[in-house]
Structure 1
Amino acid sequence: MSADFKDLGAELSNWGRWGPDDQLGTLNLIGPQHVCAAAAEVASGKVFQLSIPVGKDGPQSGMGGRLNPVHLMSMQPQDWDPHGLQVSDDWIIMPLQSGTQWDGLSHIGYDNKLYNGYAADDVSTRCGARRLAVDAMTDRIVGRGVLLDIARLHGTDWLAAGTAVTPADLEAAERAQGVTVGEADFLLVRTGWRTRFLAEGRDGWMSGEPGLNLDCARWLHQRAVAAVGSDNWGIEVMPSGIDGAIMPVHCVLIRDMGMPLAEILDLEALAQDCVADGRWSFLFVAPPLHISNAVGSPVTPIAIK
């Protein structure tokens, strides 16, 4: 079973779809008409930021070398002549993928290939990502967002680790919420895993998670979704349920389809407001930082209703 995801990846591959030099993947689906339609989603002017705090109390436990951010002051307030000016400066030291983040298209490969057939060695410890760097996306993460609340669908505060979210779940949530995920949309999936972190802390939070199963890749492809995000740390269900396969959904979405992933979102306030007003779609704006040669980036996504 370990190779099954590769067969699916070949079926859903977008390699060459937008040309041999493409570095944007499914973000190519977003046209000016989609951005204009997304702007029309704004009715009340309510703004929701969807990121977790950047700081020492984040979810990281050292797995894979990812630590929580370290915040240091480099200048304390002091009186400067001639008129008592006071200045403070600070530093932050952090893995780029330690909190709310985008996974860029150079983040995942297999069989020595990245998205669109680029070589895996286009990413190196010396130079970073020579191709498919996350800063190619800085002006492309604007469009219609749709929130599907799978935890609410199942009547729970959070889904248990290892719970697979299926295409049937996504479609049941659409029906329950009266919304449809369409072409060039940004799909946000609430599993309640952020709620679990707030209630119980980081212990065990990264040892498994609820999330999308591999069947969702075909669903996302058929719906022509631009990108997907979730309130968990890795988008997909952990463990994967596929013998010998580590992060198969990442492999198919990023490497084969060219779809960036937004992880560790805070969807709580947005979900509560969507329940209150019955509107589950919104303008979504979430550019990564303009970091050269990076494979991922911190982000503070914004939803505007």
Structure 2
Amino acid sequence: MARADIKVGSSPYGPDDQLGAMNKMTAASSAAVLARADGSKVYDLSIDYFVGMPSFQAAGDPSYQIYMSHTPQGTVVDNLNGVGDEINRNVCYSGDVIFMYTHTGTHIDSLNHFGVDGKIYNGFTADEHLGSRHWMRGGAETIPPLVARGVMLDIAGLKNEECLPPSYAITVEDCQQALDKAGLTLEEGDVAFIRTGRMAYWPDGSKVLGNPPGVGLDAARWLTEQGIIAIAADQECVEVGPSQHEDNWLPGHCHFLAEAGVPMIELVNLEELARDGVYEFCLIAAPIRLRGASGAPLRPLAMALRD
């Protein structure tokens, strides 16, 4: 097995920068892609959150949970608001609480999610910038709303397969051929979406998690060299698993996040886009502003682009 030899990247935008590649998204680039968007159909690329959904429990993370904190009848019995039986029977009050790992379901990885040798992107260190609760740099709240051109690299479609086989490592050639087939090129400021086909099996956890097909490290480096501002995939980690490199168990994460400053979007549903042959689109997506968090839920929306 080869070594990954990944090093933490320094931002060309200065020592305090926390945006990394997202600096390439500008007011002009966002306005240009919005001007071409066909709003007659909006594709929702996210998945539902529900009890029993596939998650990273095998890695020790909690499963998604939801429970009621207030119910209409319970409010009558409890009378915690002190307004009495008659009013509480008239006003039916419900409330709930959720509990989950921040990388559950469709989500975006913040730049502080992975680092190398105690440092995250742009040299922020665990010693100086990691508090008792969360990182003080590179958290989910620093990710701006993404309004950018999305380009889907349909590798499953390229191979004429419903889903790529487990642990298939997507190559640079695969990426180039998928773009050629779609008649597209990646441009600076784009968000690249990798389709492996795994969402065809959602929510069967035995088929959508574990030994994922995904981008190999050479392909990851080629993608960031194209000037993308984020990378997305329809599986749990964008990259191929298990690692092909002896010195790093998730080299793709370390490259995208720590070396290149490119946030990662995972578990996006690309099946409807693929069925409709939409490979180029206006992406609108924004994470919940969880201060310091290593990731946050994301609801990506896509609209096909007019010529």
Calculate the TM-score normalised by the size of structure 2. 0.89
- The 5 A counterparts of 1:94-133 are 94-122=100-128, 124=130, 126-133=132-139
Specify the code of the residue in structure 1 equivalent to 2:44.
Q
Q: State how far apart, in whole Å, the 2-side matches of 1:221 and 1:204 are.
A: 28
Q: How many residues align?
A: 293
Partner of 1:225: 228
Q: State how far apart, in whole Å, the 2-side matches of 1:251 and 1:89 are.
A: 39
Q: Could you tell me how far 1:204 is from its partner in structure 2?
A: 5.5
Q: Where do 5+ consecutive residues of structure 1 fail to align? A: none
- The 5 A counterparts of 1:29-48 are 29-48=24-43
Q: Secondary structure at the match of 1:282?
A: strand
Partner of 1:302: 301
Partner of 2:141: 135
Partner of 2:79: none
The question of whether the paired residues in 2 share the 8 Å contact of 1:106 and 1:115 is answered with yes
1:213 alignment partner, one of 213, 216, 219: 216
- The 5 A counterparts of 1:45-194 are 45-60=40-55, 62-78=57-73, 81-82=86-87, 84-122=90-128, 124=130, 126-137=132-143, 139-194=144-199
Identity %: 32
Q: State how far apart, in whole Å, the 2-side matches of 1:45 and 1:214 are.
A: 38
Q: State how far apart, in whole Å, the 2-side matches of 1:16 and 1:203 are.
A: 39
The question of whether the paired residues in 1 share the 8 Å contact of 2:108 and 2:296 is answered with yes
The question of whether the paired residues in 1 share the 8 Å contact of 2:221 and 2:255 is answered with no
Deviations 1:94-144 (A, max 9, x none): 11112111110000011111100110345647230111111011x342211
The question of whether the paired residues in 2 share the 8 Å contact of 1:208 and 1:237 is answered with yes
Q: Structure 1 residue 292 and structure 2 residue 291: aligned?
A: yes
Assess, with a 3 A threshold, how the Cα gap between structure 1 residues 122 and 106 changes in structure 2: closer, same or farther: farther
- Decide which moves more: 53-62 or 86-95: 53-62
Q: State how far apart, in whole Å, the 1-side matches of 2:153 and 2:292 are.
A: 32
Specify the code of the residue in structure 1 equivalent to 2:289.
H
Q: Secondary structure at the match of 2:90?
A: coil
Q: Could you tell me how far 1:206 is from its partner in structure 2?
A: 2.7
1:246 alignment partner, one of 245, 249, 252: 249
Q: Where do 5+ consecutive residues of structure 2 fail to align? A: 77-84
Q: Could you tell me how far 1:44 is from its partner in structure 2?
A: 4.6
The question of whether the paired residues in 2 share the 8 Å contact of 1:105 and 1:114 is answered with yes
Q: State how far apart, in whole Å, the 1-side matches of 2:39 and 2:298 are.
A: 24
RMSD: 1.9
- Decide which moves more: 288-297 or 117-126: 117-126
The question of whether the paired residues in 2 share the 8 Å contact of 1:286 and 1:299 is answered with yes
Q: Structure 1 residue 266 and structure 2 residue 261: aligned?
A: no
Q: State how far apart, in whole Å, the 1-side matches of 2:38 and 2:102 are.
A: 34
The question of whether the paired residues in 1 share the 8 Å contact of 2:4 and 2:246 is answered with no
Specify the code of the residue in structure 1 equivalent to 2:292.
N
1:24 alignment partner, one of 9, 19, 31: 19
Q: Secondary structure at the match of 2:108?
A: strand
Specify the code of the residue in structure 2 equivalent to 1:101.
H
The question of whether the paired residues in 2 share the 8 Å contact of 1:101 and 1:296 is answered with yes
Could you say which structure has the larger radius of gyration?
Answer: 2
Q: Could you tell me how far 1:93 is from its partner in structure 2?
A: 0.8
Specify the code of the residue in structure 1 equivalent to 2:270.
L
